[in-house]
Amino acid sequence: MDAESEINKGSIFTLHLLYARPTILVVDDERDARTVLRMCLKFLGVNFIEAENGKEALDMIEASAPHLIITDINIPEMYPSWRG
């Protein structure tokens, strides 16, 4: 932190924040879908983590606290499947 002050003029405080790379969690049981998203997001310079089912996703959320989660609608190990 930097501070500048002039009598009768006031003070300026500058706080320097560390740059943090955002973490994106992609949840999909289809490996190809996760690969496509990873390739699309690679140029953003983000930390990319992935899970193939709901249990893995919940564990990663607890461990990593991702900034963004991109997920498929029908995730194994979360809800009963409606696929038949």
Architecture of the domain delimited by 19-84: 3-Layer(aba) Sandwich (3.40)
| pLDDT confidence of residue 77 | 74
Give the pLDDT confidence score for residue 31 in this predicted structure: 94
Burial class (CB in 10 A: 0-12, 13-18, 19+), 6: exposed
Going by pLDDT thresholds of 50, 70 and 90, the confidence category of residue 80 is low
Task: For the chain, give the number of residues.
Answer: 84
Q: Which tokens sit at 79?
A: 């809800």
3-39 residue pLDDT tens = 899 999 888 888 776 777 889 999 999 999 999 988 9
Residue ranges per structural domain of the chain: 19-84
Residue 41: Cβ within 10 Å count: 15
Residue 83 has pLDDT above 70, yes or no: no
Alpha-carbon distance of 40 to 72, in angstroms, equals 16
> In this structure, are residues 29 and 52 in contact, taking their beta carbons and an 8 Å threshold?
yes
Phi, psi at 63, each rounded to 5°: -80, -35
Instruction: Give this prediction's pTM.
Output: 0.68
